[in-house]
Structure 1
Amino acid sequence: MNNSFKKFIFLVLLGICLLKPADFRADIVYPARLELTETEPGVFNVFFTLPVINGKVIKASPILPGTCNNLSEPKITGTAYSKNLSWKISCNEEPFYGKQIGIEGLQGSQVEILLVINLLDGRSFNKKLSPSMAYFEVPYPPGFLELLKTGTFKGARTMLLQHYFYLLVFGLIFLLKVKNRKKYYLFLFLSILTGYFLGNFELIKIPGWMFPVSVLIALLLLGLKTSGLQNIQFSSLLILVPGLFLGNLLSIEKIDLVLTPGEELVFAIFFSLGIALGLLLVVILFSQLKNILKYFKVYKKFLPALSIIIGSLSLGLLIFELSLFWRTTSMLPQIPGISLLFILLIPLLISRRNLLASGFSFAIFSVFGLILLMNGFSIPYAEIMLLGLILLSLVFNLLKPVTPRIFFLVNITIGAVLAGNILGSYANDNLSFPLARSIGYLAMAIFLIGMIAGILPKRSTSKMYHRVWGLLLLSFGLMFFGNLFLEEYFDSLASEYVNGILPVPILSLILLIFTIIAWPRNRRIHKQMNLETRKPLLSISLLVLALILLPFHFGIKNPWYEAQKLDKQGMKLVMENVLSNTYTAFNEEDEEKLFEALSQNVDAELLDNVYLDSRRRLSMGLREGAEVSVEEVKLNELGDPAQKTDSDIFEYPVKWTVTARVRHLKHIHYRKNSYTGTVALKSIDNQWKISKISLSSEDRKVMAASNL
């Protein structure tokens, strides 16, 4: 008892010593800059920028080490807002370590200069120079012992600063029953380590809320299971997912040392040692507390109340953490709704005996779909196919008591591939680090599948829960169906119609005929034999397929179509289609395909002007390396046509908006360009093309992806 109590007090005091306040860093944009880049041993390119204030340049000059000599004269360039000087120096192959670099002439000004030094060994120094601190001494490289001390201390301290980490370990020690605890803690450490190194290599990135939310969900279910209030199947392997998230959060911790790539690897190893030390300290701390309770023989009596307390605390904290989403809606998870619906469907289909295998199957096939997307293969009509699979699964679940094994295998394989491909496509279009963020969301999906499957009772014991869950998902599926078809499909039908095309959904018509034929009928002989009418499982499945396959139709030319006889609503659809096709043509990387798409919507005499002007306006003000793609073209207003100069030409005053996605290396934002002008449409062989376009005003706005 005495030894356990002493260890407990010692660990508490040690933890308090390590919990000193965390520091924070922020990036600042500097109008003045001194940059030295080493190109050869001892040879540097120097770039010096000074701001122009009230038409005058600050009289400041760089102070370099005395061993450095100019190899070239400074070349002066600049703009109305800055003066730039660039030249080359030689420092006799002597390293900069221990030497001072600064700026002379800042006294009496408020100018701050960013000093950047890039060395051949991979080190990069960034320092702010100000009138009060105008010099920077380049530090010597850290030694092995300094890396060991800093890395270990930083790893342990960072672990012990994670508040939910304490709650997680406390719940594992007091509530989770495992046969080999030492082995389990080793697996937990390896999951944290995996998240840490994957985060360092930018292979997984998660939002900050994922770790606390996953911990609180796990502890809530553990509390319910231990207290006996709910019969829950809880897989101890699911705790490894919060460990993965914790490691990913640790990977974003900033370090003060400037390291080479090799030193960064050594530091990461010592940081991992600190993680192990922090985990060990907390495990020993709570284990000793558990031993104290056992010594006084109150542990078993205390356990039911403790499980209720932990469950209640987890529920309250979970509500608090989730309140972030309705206070700040832009923080909502960036997950396609159709993929989320499939994730919620899987627990309904799987049985408890194959929970682990189902989770791994989903992980493997969804990652496969993600890899296909990242390698440039986007599955055509993936959303429609996945929606059809979901609706068929829900029909089977409601009408058939037991899901056939082959049907489940088809769901988990094809559905997971489609869900991963859709998630990757969405992340690639809207998020920075799309691969890393997609993997993070898939890890959370596996965690949710396991948790929901553990909560749902077996179908044999309670059909009501499965029926309610299935009806809830079916209602969401029908909402997605309505959103997908009412907004997109019927708009496309109207667009085809005003362009002289009659859509014929031949596949849907054939399936509809088979639906009617296969519908079960209650004949007289069935009534006489007191036989129940069989459930229309096949017919409803065929009907679902018929609805899903509506977009796959044949287009035939409308023999009664005359372009000149369209009303204003029809011309509005035509104008929006032509403008949309014109702008989205610039998403083509192949110039020949781009011109071919433009030629189908723009008159030949106007083609070159439209190409050059649209390309200039879409890329105006962009940095080098940025990628632009048109996402949406919306017609805001179509006025009355002007006086016709030709029977085939209609000229309209128009207002329209073009939304384009701009992808930079580290982030994505959107541009909304609003235009006002006149657009003339010309009918050439019953096909509308732009024959004239003139702009009277243009307004550009930059928007964050979350505010779109």
Structure 2
Amino acid sequence: MKRRMRHVPLALAALALIAVARDAAAHSLDPALLDVREGADGTTLVTWKTSAQRIPGSRTEPVLPPSCRTVRSPEITDEGARITVRWTVDCRPGGLVGQQIGVDGLGLAKIDALVRVILADGRLVRGVVRARDPFLTIPERPRRFDVLRDYIRLGVEHILGGPDHLLFVFGLLLLVITPRLLVRTVTAFTIGHSLTLTAAVFDLVRVPPALAELLISISVLVLAVELARDATQPTLMRRKPWAMAAVFGLLHGLGFAGGLRAIGLPGSDIPVALFAFNVGVEIGQISFIAVVLALRWGLEHVPARWPRWAAWVPVYSIGILAAFWCFERTAALMQ
């Protein structure tokens, strides 16, 4: 029981940080998407996807180069959670290279927008536009530094916007006590999700996104069940938590791959983008662990007497959330 009581400050620290991370990463969770594709016939297909829910009075609109003229009227599709608008423009004779594409109204809407441009020669240019920088310039060739910077940032945003990933890492902090074993366990988790992320990007592994999300929630639930058991029992997961973390890391890597596919990869710099995204995920993960441990240290020095039932709050919180995700994602998979 004393060991479980030590988890109370850790739980408070982690839950507070997850809430902050979710709020800070809210833009990356439901961004608008502007997809622009140059065709072989000289016309350009524009697809604009936004959330059906928006702040009253806000309105976001794509901004295309002045040379682009509409040749096919917009078609609006209501997809429930999102609204999709498609239309065709002609940007000849200059085309899109060297031009600016952006989104107006991001500040009032409090969202970011992902801009993805596929040029006629097959090159992919992408970037995230924000209220303070609402335009993306289409370069002759994307600079590797820009690719590195953007994908590191997207990796950080992806993991901080994923409560299931953060709760799993939090569960590892509850399961493992010694610093050396914690380092081994987190490293094994990193290796696991890096392997499947890389394999999925190069199409060596194919798993439907809905199934991957379900498997991730199951991994969190299994960890919660282990945490609820008698900590003095030498189970395999407690004796070799690094092995469990490596196996479940493989599942979480599938989730990261789904997020990376949704973002898109620059055709000429896939290895750089993949490496940068992985680095971003690790930066976010290590930052989460460091801040949680720092907050725990601070809370442990606050004079407070916790009730005995508080020792079970972190474990049951993880279990209840994981069970909910399992039911929710099973239902989504069956649709």
| Interval containing the TM-score (normalised by the shorter chain) | 0.5 to 0.7
2:201–2:261: 8 Å Cα contact kept in structure 1?
A: no
Q: Deviations over 1:79-135 (max 9, x none)?
A: xxxxxxxxxxxxxxxx8511489xxxxxxxxxxxxx985443x41479xxxxxxxxx
1:98–1:137: 8 Å Cα contact kept in structure 2?
A: no
Give the corresponding residue for 1:143: 143
Q: What are structure 1's unaligned runs of at least 5 residues?
A: 1-7, 38-44, 53-59, 67-94, 102-114, 127-135, 333-705
Q: Deviations over 1:563-610 (max 9, x none)?
A: xxxxxxxxxxxxxxxxxxxxxxxxxxxxxxxxxxxxxxxxxxxxxxxx
**1:220 aligned to which of 210, 219, 225:** 225
Give the corresponding residue for 2:80: none
- CA–CA distance in 1 between the matches of 2:226 and 2:264? 44
Give the corresponding residue for 2:159: 159
- CA–CA distance in 1 between the matches of 2:234 and 2:193? 29
Aligned residue runs from structure 1 range 442-453, under 5 A: none
1:218–1:239: 8 Å Cα contact kept in structure 2?
A: no
- CA–CA distance in 1 between the matches of 2:322 and 2:202? 30
Paired residue total: 250
Give the corresponding residue for 1:19: 25
Q: Does 1:264 align with 2:266?
A: no
- CA–CA distance in 1 between the matches of 2:256 and 2:191? 14
- CA–CA distance in 2 between the matches of 1:278 and 1:325? 25
2:197–2:253: 8 Å Cα contact kept in structure 1?
A: yes
1:36–1:46: 8 Å Cα contact kept in structure 2?
A: yes
1:123–1:258: 8 Å Cα contact kept in structure 2?
A: no
**1:288 aligned to which of 294, 304, 308:** 294
Q: Closer, same or farther in 2 for the Cα pair 1:290/1:125, shift >3 Å?
A: closer
Give the corresponding residue for 2:320: 316
Q: Deviations over 1:126-145 (max 9, x none)?
A: 9xxxxxxxxx9971143233
1:223–1:311: 8 Å Cα contact kept in structure 2?
A: yes
Q: Closer, same or farther in 2 for the Cα pair 1:309/1:243, shift >3 Å?
A: same
Identity of aligned residues (%): 16
Deviation at 1:310, TM superposition (A): 3.1
Deviation at 1:271, TM superposition (A): 1.2
Give the corresponding residue for 1:176: 176
Deviation at 1:20, TM superposition (A): 3.5
1:196–1:250: 8 Å Cα contact kept in structure 2?
A: yes
Deviation at 1:240, TM superposition (A): 2.3
**2:92 aligned to which of 42, 58, 64:** 64
Aligned residue runs from structure 1 range 112-127, under 5 A: 118-120=119-121, 122-124=122-124
Give the corresponding residue for 2:248: 242
Give the corresponding residue for 1:192: 193
- CA–CA distance in 1 between the matches of 2:259 and 2:215? 17
Q: Does 1:211 align with 2:216?
A: yes
| 3-state SS of paired residue (1:64) | coil
2:193–2:251: 8 Å Cα contact kept in structure 1?
A: yes
Q: What are structure 2's unaligned runs of at least 5 residues?
A: 1-12, 46-70, 74-87, 102-115, 127-134
- CA–CA distance in 2 between the matches of 1:34 and 1:165? 33
| 3-state SS of paired residue (2:30) | coil
- CA–CA distance in 1 between the matches of 2:309 and 2:268? 51
Q: Deviations over 1:53-78 (max 9, x none)?
A: xxxxxxx9845126xxxxxxxxxxxx
- CA–CA distance in 2 between the matches of 1:254 and 1:97? 24
Q: Deviations over 1:119-177 (max 9, x none)?
A: 43x41479xxxxxxxxx997114323322321111111111111122322222223324
1:15–1:160: 8 Å Cα contact kept in structure 2?
A: yes
- CA–CA distance in 1 between the matches of 2:158 and 2:286? 14
Deviation at 1:274, TM superposition (A): 0.9
- CA–CA distance in 1 between the matches of 2:333 and 2:262? 30
2:125–2:266: 8 Å Cα contact kept in structure 1?
A: no
Deviation at 1:295, TM superposition (A): 4.9
- CA–CA distance in 2 between the matches of 1:294 and 1:239? 27
Query: Which residue identity does 1:165 align to in structure 2?
Result: H
Q: Closer, same or farther in 2 for the Cα pair 1:204/1:295, shift >3 Å?
A: farther
Q: Closer, same or farther in 2 for the Cα pair 1:219/1:278, shift >3 Å?
A: same
Give the corresponding residue for 1:36: 39
Q: Closer, same or farther in 2 for the Cα pair 1:147/1:192, shift >3 Å?
A: same
Query: Which residue identity does 1:309 align to in structure 2?
Result: V
Give the corresponding residue for 1:331: 333
2:37–2:119: 8 Å Cα contact kept in structure 1?
A: no
Q: Deviations over 1:627-667 (max 9, x none)?
A: xxxxxxxxxxxxxxxxxxxxxxxxxxxxxxxxxxxxxxxxx
Q: Closer, same or farther in 2 for the Cα pair 1:266/1:138, shift >3 Å?
A: same
1:64–1:100: 8 Å Cα contact kept in structure 2?
A: no
Aligned residue runs from structure 1 range 72-91, under 5 A: none
Deviation at 1:280, TM superposition (A): 0.8
| 3-state SS of paired residue (2:148) | helix
Q: Closer, same or farther in 2 for the Cα pair 1:213/1:36, shift >3 Å?
A: same
| 3-state SS of paired residue (2:39) | strand
Q: Closer, same or farther in 2 for the Cα pair 1:262/1:306, shift >3 Å?
A: farther
- Give the TM-score, by structure 1 length: 0.30
Aligned residue runs from structure 1 range 563-578, under 5 A: none
Larger Rg: 1
Q: Closer, same or farther in 2 for the Cα pair 1:310/1:224, shift >3 Å?
A: farther
- CA–CA distance in 2 between the matches of 1:154 and 1:290? 28
Deviation at 1:272, TM superposition (A): 1.2
| 3-state SS of paired residue (2:279) | helix
Q: Deviations over 1:24-49 (max 9, x none)?
A: 46799xxxx98533xxxxxxx54799
- CA–CA distance in 1 between the matches of 2:155 and 2:249? 15
Whose RCO is larger (CA < 8 A, sep 6+)?
2
